[in-house]
Structure 1
Amino acid sequence: MSIYLDYNASAPIDHRVLDYMIDVYKGAYGNADSRTHNFGDTSRKVVEKARADVAAILDIRKDEVFFTSGATESNNIVLQGLREYAEQTGKKHIITSSIEHKAILETAKYLQKEGFVVDFVNPDATGRISAKNVIRLVREDTLLVSIMHVNNETGIIQPVQEIGEYLNSKDVFFHVDATQSFGKLVDELKALKYDMLSMSAHKLAGPQGVGALILRKKRYKLPPVKNIMFGGPQEHGIRPGTIPVALVAGLGKACELAHAEYQENKKKCLSIKEIILQLLMDSGVKYHINGDINYSIPSTLNVCFDGVSSEALMLATKQYCGVSNGSACNSHSYAPSYVLVAMGLSEERIENSIRISWGAETDLNAVRVEFTNLLEYVRNIQ
């Protein structure tokens, strides 16, 4: 039976999260913004508990948490929501990286057409961008620096700590896309200095379709982010629309569980990573790890198998392992990974690379068996 190794696309929902959501669907069906009856009060209490759970895992205030449909929407709100402030102040310079999620890249490119100046910083072959290269681009009219914490294709941790420390004393907003690190690098995110942060529930065993935007207060004021949709005062006007109570509850529960279990989860993920690396070394196949493994998150590897097309490999071994060769949002495109291109890898190496990602509940024995089967296929055709 095939083992699922594409957690960076979407992690399976935790059964405890699902059970809690079912209870909420059954017992908290009122609109959380209804103020005239107990049904609204019940739903509102569920939402506020979830808000507290999200705040707790980041060690921030409840009123700095705003629910959205996920990190893509949160990223769009950050970049597009600062437009009015940018026009008022004349600060229309944005710094980001060339390996961000498309939710950042495409929005930044749209803003370029609207008169903004955007610098895209490339990584080196390690998969990391240089904090110095980001910092040296900061100027008087810089509005925003937006850098992801962990790259979704390579699992490489970016130098957001150094960038955050530098920007903390500057009149520049710092946004971190924490989609792949939220609930995993918990201590690192608690210590990080940032103004805005994006996340999605389905990357940490929560439900699809819900996430959060974190807006940190400075001198009791939120960043001047405006809503980019219209329709109501929900989430203090940042994100209009009826709050999906059960989805929000699932996000909160996933955060509660991750907060309690992240240290043990990290150990489990590292054990799986060690097994995969050992299987690779013992297999006799010709391979390369893309990116500096010393900076990779415990739950992700990006591997090139020499002379083996990733498309052919995924099709031929899908009865063993469910893997990918890049971001799910680009899976319908046969263009080479823009992340690996930005790292300066050869076209052949890019075409022969797959992403492997897993979670704490991934079965160790199944990994040994099924990944060995995949490697046997590679060995036979190399």
Structure 2
Amino acid sequence: MPATYLDAAATTRVDERVAEVVLHWMTEEFGNAGSRTHDYGNRAKKAVQRAREQLAAQLGARADELIFTSGATESNNIALLGLATHGQEVGRRHIISSAIEHKAVIEPLEHLQTRGFEVDFIKPDCRGRIHTEAVKELLRPDTLLVSLMHVNNETGVVQPVAELARHLRESATYLHVDAAQGFAKLPDDLTAPIDMISISGHKIGAPKGVGALLIRRRGWDRIPLQPIMFGGGQERKLRPGTLPVPLVVGLAKAEEIFRTERDQWVAGAQKVREEILAALSGTRYHLNGDPDHSVPHILNVSFEGVDAEALIVRLRDIAAVATGSACTSASYTPSHVLTAMGLPEKVAANGLRLSWFPSQADNLDMQQIATVVRSLQD
């Protein structure tokens, strides 16, 4: 029996119904959406437009406010680096973010620091949550942007982005939200007046390599983004390159499936969570993250007296788990997220992330995992 897949925060299996649609647009309807002189291209263009309208509607936005990208990392870079020229021109070079952001946000912001921008990285409370008041206290007349993730990819803690959006909407400060982990799972939060939202497809059963950036207008005013790549007029001149029509249509299909089956998914994810916590009750562990403000499918735990890397090796044939973000899992340094939460070094260095899709955890045997943990703790 294969190991149970418990790393859905890194990526999910492509839904078979999505794969069928993607294959169709790869092999049957293979036209380029930019080709307007024949039906192949026109059909592709219409398919992309339908996908754009559908995804934008789920964010409470209009189709012309959404551009397709290769994923949340690219969307984050366009949102953060694309606003830099405007910030320099108007003399607003202050940015507020958090110390628990994904590296796809932290590293672009560190780059902006080399260009003269001042960035405040707020630390969360000990449960991993950033409080709106902490952001408000740092706001200044020259604050260009606040960038705060929706759901933390390591702990599953939900951040108050909707509340923050309502506060900032009447100010000159823009709000960017990395919603890679929360898109489709917590839809109501993302219909709040957030200026820019980054999403990624492969967290909800779509293929890797496709995502989107919502760029919400403020009235008639567009956010003054500048392109960070050049070579074509696609995607409102902000993201050049041939659109991957099969992936775009696949992203829309995945969102449609997830939206239709969301209640079932939430119930299933919560059931798995309860099973995991029940099994772990016989071990000595520390739950890293606020259980009152978390998504149901991500848990981060540190086991007393157990090295996380050694545990992963012991679990290799039982469960596929991770120590944190897939982008940094090759590093054995303590998690920057858990460290920012102020957790002891032994706890921060040994956080184990368990994340799942209910349909991909059918063969889960948490008692077997708990037995392995107890054997290392004895």
Q: Could you tell me the TM-score, scaled by structure 1's length? A: 0.96
Alignment of 1:363 with 2:358, yes or no, is no
Residues 57 and 259 of structure 1 are in contact (CA less than 8 Å); yes or no, is this contact kept in structure 2? Answer: no
Q: Which residue is 2:287 aligned to?
A: 289
Q: Which residue is 2:206 aligned to?
A: 206
Q: Which residue is 1:116 aligned to?
A: 117
In 2: Cα distance, 1:196 partner to 1:28 partner: 32
Displacement of 1:95 after TM fit? Answer: 0.3
| Partner SS, residue 183 of structure 2 | coil
Partner deviation per Cα, 1:42-85 (whole Å, 9 max, x = no partner): 11111112112211322321111100000000000011101121
Q: Which residue is 2:318 aligned to?
A: 320
Residues 94 and 119 of structure 2 are in contact (CA less than 8 Å); yes or no, is this contact kept in structure 1? Answer: yes
- Unaligned residue ranges in structure 2 (runs of 5+): none
Alignment of 1:380 with 2:378, yes or no, is no
The more displaced of 218-227 and 305-314 is: 218-227
Amino acid at match of 1:95: I
Partner deviation per Cα, 1:274-312 (whole Å, 9 max, x = no partner): 11111112xx21011001111111110001110010000
Amino acid at match of 1:77: I
Residues 304 and 352 of structure 1 are in contact (CA less than 8 Å); yes or no, is this contact kept in structure 2? Answer: yes
Residues 96 and 145 of structure 2 are in contact (CA less than 8 Å); yes or no, is this contact kept in structure 1? Answer: yes
- Unaligned residue ranges in structure 1 (runs of 5+): none
In 1: Cα distance, 2:74 partner to 2:81 partner: 10
Q: Which residue is 1:280 aligned to?
A: 280
Aligned length: 376
Displacement of 1:221 after TM fit? Answer: 2.7
Amino acid at match of 1:140: P
Residues 286 and 306 of structure 1 are in contact (CA less than 8 Å); yes or no, is this contact kept in structure 2? Answer: yes
Amino acid at match of 1:334: Y
Runs of 4+ in structure 1 off by over 4 angstroms are: none
In 2: Cα distance, 1:215 partner to 1:298 partner: 28
In 2: Cα distance, 1:36 partner to 1:337 partner: 52
Q: Which residue is 2:233 aligned to?
A: 233
In 1: Cα distance, 2:217 partner to 2:314 partner: 51
Alignment of 1:167 with 2:168, yes or no, is yes
Partner deviation per Cα, 1:336-364 (whole Å, 9 max, x = no partner): 10000000111111233200001131334
Displacement of 1:161 after TM fit? Answer: 2.1
In 2: Cα distance, 1:233 partner to 1:360 partner: 41
In 1: Cα distance, 2:193 partner to 2:211 partner: 20
Partner deviation per Cα, 1:139-192 (whole Å, 9 max, x = no partner): 1001000000100000001111221121011111001111000010112222x2
Query: Where do residues 70-85 of structure 1 align in structure 2 (5 Å cutoff)?
Result: 70-85=71-86
| Partner SS, residue 148 of structure 1 | coil
In 2: Cα distance, 1:206 partner to 1:198 partner: 15
Q: Which residue is 1:255 aligned to?
A: 255
Q: Which residue is 2:95 aligned to?
A: 94
| Partner SS, residue 30 of structure 1 | coil
Amino acid at match of 1:264: Q
Residues 206 and 254 of structure 2 are in contact (CA less than 8 Å); yes or no, is this contact kept in structure 1? Answer: yes
Q: Could you tell me the TM-score, scaled by structure 2's length? A: 0.97
Residues 333 and 349 of structure 2 are in contact (CA less than 8 Å); yes or no, is this contact kept in structure 1? Answer: no
Compute the RMSD of aligned alpha carbons.
Answer: 1.1
Q: Which residue is 1:35 aligned to?
A: 36
Residues 177 and 198 of structure 2 are in contact (CA less than 8 Å); yes or no, is this contact kept in structure 1? Answer: yes
Displacement of 1:263 after TM fit? Answer: 2.0
Amino acid at match of 1:314: I
Q: Which residue is 1:348 aligned to?
A: 346
Displacement of 1:108 after TM fit? Answer: 0.5
Q: Which residue is 2:5 aligned to?
A: 4
